[in-house]
């Protein structure tokens, strides 16, 4: 099985690579903005690309419920439906079933859940998840997995991990049945905060054989210390020649840490969600120097807030502080709207409920995350 | 008093002109998208310009309440605050006081009202309205006027009209006191549906002398027949060498009619508001031919729906009809996003509550109105 991933640089444990997909190559480490329902919040696909994004993530659960597989198939897949030419990764839907649908029950074959939109009962299995991801026309598909809640018992973590291995095998069979040959399939390492369970999971997945490997079941309520510890351990368990994807994390300082221990791919709702709540991430100084300092601290094993304080701060745009701040939204950003518009104007837009405020804040935060990755890629490739 | 307006063409009663402002020339007839609170809903100023807008309208009432005159002065005016380089027209605030604040009382000097945001009591007079418009840095300011409710008694219309004349004079004095010399001031013709009151109003305003004249107090509940009749009569009462502005109207077919009887300027919330409610205006065929037919019908005195059916239809994007309609949002539009994205995708965005849906619908509707004006200008200038 040839690898879609080429490792081109190393710095300590950190890696620089190139991931080939059917819709173009992706330089790693990379952040994937989230297009939950066929749109990165507030933006067209072209706009996300213009901010420097090379790959986005679509949510199988949301797209299954709306617009549904029939419309996506008629449209010729999500790329055509949303008019986006770049690579798309889709999750399997498992995590959203677990977190969004009030009623869901898991058995050995799959999960039955009620739609959070209209209450109808839907069943998702390894086979139907991959079938849906095929309807989406995703470039990188995730195996269907069993997700244990944060702070579960060891028994539950073990059960979910073992079932995820069985579903990983079933997902691969479904992938080979439903999916065009140029798509990729990733396995997901489970096992909670237990290193031996993680080890068993990683070994089992490698036996099945995937194009890439994700670290699942973290950032779900465990301590940040545990997250960091497990992420580092799991990264070390995974094959060098395959991409490593930390699912659903995280804050900027977390991403710096995960990169420093050898993770390659990230997605997170924080830049878009926080933007909608009026919170923006801004550089403390020149991004190149800021990220270098943050990366150095991460390599030295600094705790999360020590990494964070090296490079950025959060500003709540609805607070009084920015009412007469006529400086740019972020003078260290290279996002044009963040240079063009003032914090006072952005605050006014939020107070007045103007949609343009959501757009400017979203652009700032997405560009912040993407710039962070650009600087990390530069450091790793030196 | 020299005129900022040059009449360059006539076709029947319809006029083509050029209005000079401190932020550039405006070709008329023209439609002004509304930037209520310092943003044309969902858009940057550059984006509105790119859709073909040459002038926008700001609401003095909204901007007075938020961000308020202090912030606008510190910002160096609305142009700088919202980063928009083109001409801005502001209303006087009178109409919004009347329609938006639950408690308001009018006396001979002005209006006292409660903010609909925080309930504080605010007083607006001809002097303070012009002072606020000066803080905004508007290029075209409106006199402060007394607005009678639709279907008022003749006595109330007459009172409001006479008071508006007195306030027109006071507004001109305030304009000369507060305002930079390159701004323009427009008077507003009142008098409800009574032609003699309208005549008295027009004569009184001409005696005072303004840079342009608006037709106020229409589209407030009277019959469409009355609106058309009064608009035509009032246009004929106004000087040839000054721009004529129909305030707050209206539907596309109304604008075609008003242009056909000699009105030059328009503003309306319909394109942006209807877009937010998922309703888009789309061309029935080639815009050039469609508008020509509509204009011909308007010149022949056709009723409103006969004008409308010549050139466009409204589509409700939340309806089932478009669920699998993969044709462009408007194949006859030259708005890029309306050509790029399908009705099925736009419907999906509305159903999923995605902000991009509001943006695509707003762009479609604004471009529809601006294209309508381009075609009308071309017809008048032939």
Q: Of the candidates B232, B224, B230, which has an alpha carbon nearest to the alpha carbon of residue B260?
A: B232
Q: How many other C-beta atoms lie within 10 A of the C-beta of residue A107?
A: 10
Please give the structure tokens belonging to residue B93.
């605030």
Predicted pLDDT at B81: 98
Query: In angstroms, what separates the C-alpha of B380 from chain A's closest C-alpha?
Result: 36
Annotated domain spans of chain A: 5-268, 275-381
Contact B72, B41 (CB under 8 A): no
pLDDT digits (tens, 9 = 90+) for A2-50: 899 999 999 999 999 999 999 999 999 999 999 999 999 999 999 999 9
Give the Cα separation of B150 and A275 in Å (integer).
Answer: 42
3-state helix, strand, coil in chain B (%, to 5): 45, 20, 35
* pLDDT value for A1: 67
Contact of B43 with chain A, judged by CB distance below 8 Å, is answered with: yes
3-class SS letters over A147-202: CCCCCCCHHHHHHHHHHHHHHHHHHHHHHHHHCCCCCEEEEEECCCCCHHHHHHHH
Suggest the residue from A100, A345, A361 to mutate for an interface test with chain B (most B CBs closer than 10 A): A345
| The pLDDT of residue B225 is above 90 | yes
pLDDT value at position A117? 86
Query: In residues, how long is chain A?
Result: 382
| Rounded distance between C-alpha atoms, residue B77 and residue B87, angstroms | 12
What average pLDDT does the structure give for chain B? 96
Chain B CB contacts of A348 under 8 Å are 37-38, 66-67, 71, 81
Tell me the residues of chain B between 54 and 73 that have a Cβ less than 8 Å away from chain A: 62, 66-67, 71
The neighbour count for residue A288, using CB atoms within 10 Å, is 13
**Residue-wise pLDDT tens digits, A229-270:** 999 999 999 999 999 999 998 999 999 999 999 999 999 999
A66 close to B357: Cβ distance less than 8 angstroms: no
Out of B127, B139, B264, B267, pick the active-site residue. Answer: B267
Tokens for B105, please give them.
């009382």
Test mutation, A66, A355, A360, chain B, max B CBs within 10 A: A355
B267 counts as catalytic: yes
Residue of A nearest to B80 (CA): A341
Instruction: Give the pLDDT mean for B183-200.
Output: 97
Q: Looking at the domain A5-268, which fold is it? A: TIM Barrel (3.20.20)
Judging contacts by C-beta atoms under 8 Å, the chain A residues touching residue B66 are: 348, 351-352
Determine the Cα–Cα distance for residues A102 and A82; give it in Å rounded to an integer: 29
> Do residues B28 and B377 lie in contact, with contact meaning Cβ atoms separated by under 8 Å?
yes
Assess A50–B contact: CB distance below 8 Å, yes or no: no
In whole angstroms, what is the distance from residue A68 CA to residue A78 CA? 11
Is the distance from CB of B23 to CB of B63 less than 8 angstroms?
no
H helices within chain B, ranges in order?
Answer: 45-50, 60-65, 69-75, 78-82, 94-100, 126-136, 154-178, 195-208, 224-237, 252-260, 270-276, 287-299, 304-308, 336-340, 343-351, 355-381
Beta strand pairing status for B104-106 and A30-32? unpaired
Name residue, tokens 């790329």: A79
Yes or no: say if A283 and A250 are a contact pair by the CB < 8 Å rule. no
> In chain A, whose CA is at the least distance from the CA of B347?
A67
User: Which residue is closest to B326 within chain A, CA to CA?
Assistant: A75
Hey, is the C-beta of B296 within 8 angstroms of any chain A C-beta?
no
- Please check whether residue B37 touches A, CB under 8 A: yes
Percent of residues, chain B, with pLDDT higher than 90: 89
Nearest residue of B to residue A346 by CA position? B82
Q: What is the dihedral of CA A124, A130, A132, A134, to 10 degrees?
A: 180
Determine the average pLDDT of the residues in B321-347: 97
Nearest chain A Cα distance for residue B100, angstroms: 15
What pTM was computed for the model?
0.97
Asked whether B148 and B218 are in contact (CB, 8 A), the reply is no
Q: Determine the Cα–Cα distance for residues A177 and A172; give it in Å rounded to an integer.
A: 9
Q: Min CA distance, B307 vs chain A (Å)?
A: 34
| Mean pLDDT to the nearest integer, B315-324 | 95
Residue of chain B whose alpha carbon sits nearest to that of A43? B356
Kindly give the parts of chain A with pLDDT less than 50. Answer: none
CATH number of B5-267: 3.20.20.105
A44 in contact with chain B, both atoms CB, cutoff 8 A: yes
Contact B355 A359 (CB under 8 A): yes
pLDDT at B1: 67
Question: What pLDDT shows up at residue A124?
Answer: 94
Q: Is B335 in the A-facing interface, judged by CB distances under 8 Å?
A: no
From its phi and psi, is residue A296 left (phi > 0), alpha (psi between -120 and 50) or beta? alpha
Give residue B2's pLDDT: 86
Active-site residue, A267 included: yes
Angle formed at CA A134 by CA A132 and CA A138, multiple of 5 degrees: 105
């Amino acid at each position: 099985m040839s690898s879609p991933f080429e490792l081109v640089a190393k710095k300590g444990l950190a890696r620089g690579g190139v991931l080939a997909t059917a819709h173009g190559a992706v330089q790693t480490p990379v952040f994937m903005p989230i297009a939950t329902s066929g749109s990165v919040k507030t933006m067209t696909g072209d706009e996300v690309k213009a901010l420097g994004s090379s790959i986005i993530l679509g949510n199988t659960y949301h797209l299954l419920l709306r617009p549904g597989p029939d419309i996506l198939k008629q449209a010729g897949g999500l790329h055509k439906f949303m008019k986006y030419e770049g690579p798309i990764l889709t999750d399997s839907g498992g995590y959203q079933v677990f977190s969004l649908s009030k009623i869901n029950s898991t058995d050995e074959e799959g999960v039955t859940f009620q739609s959070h939109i209209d209450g109808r009962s839907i069943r998702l299995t390894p086979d139907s998840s991959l079938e849906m991801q095929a309807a989406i026309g995703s470039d990188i598909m995730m195996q269907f997995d069993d997700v244990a809640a944060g702070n579960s018992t060891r028994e539950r973590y073990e059960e979910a991990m073992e079932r995820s291995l069985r579903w990983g095998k079933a997902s691969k069979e479904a992938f080979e049945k439903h999916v065009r040959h140029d798509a990729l399939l990733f396995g997901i390492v489970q096992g909670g905060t237990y290193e031996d369970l993680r080890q068993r999971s990683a070994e089992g997945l490698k036996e099945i054989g995937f194009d890439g490997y994700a670290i699942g079941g973290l950032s779900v309520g465990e301590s940040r210390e545990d997250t960091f510890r497990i992420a580092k351990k799991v990264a070390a368990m995974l094959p060098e020649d395959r991409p490593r994807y930390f699912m659903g994390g995280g804050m900027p300082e977390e991403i710096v840490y995960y990169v420093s221990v050898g993770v390659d791919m990230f997605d997170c709702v924080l830049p878009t969600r926080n933007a909608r709540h009026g919170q923006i991430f801004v550089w403390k100084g020149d991004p190149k120097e800021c990220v270098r300092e943050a990366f150095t601290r991460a390599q030295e094993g600094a705790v999360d807030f020590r990494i964070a304080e090296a490079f950025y701060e959060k500003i709540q745009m609805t607070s009084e502080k920015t009412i007469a701040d006529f400086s740019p939204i972020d003078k260290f950003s290279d996002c044009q709207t963040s240079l063009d518009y003032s914090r006072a104007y952005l605050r006014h837009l939020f107070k007045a409920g103007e949609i343009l405020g959501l757009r400017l804040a979203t652009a700032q935060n997405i560009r912040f995350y993407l710039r962070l990755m650009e600087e990390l890629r530069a450091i790793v490739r030196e």
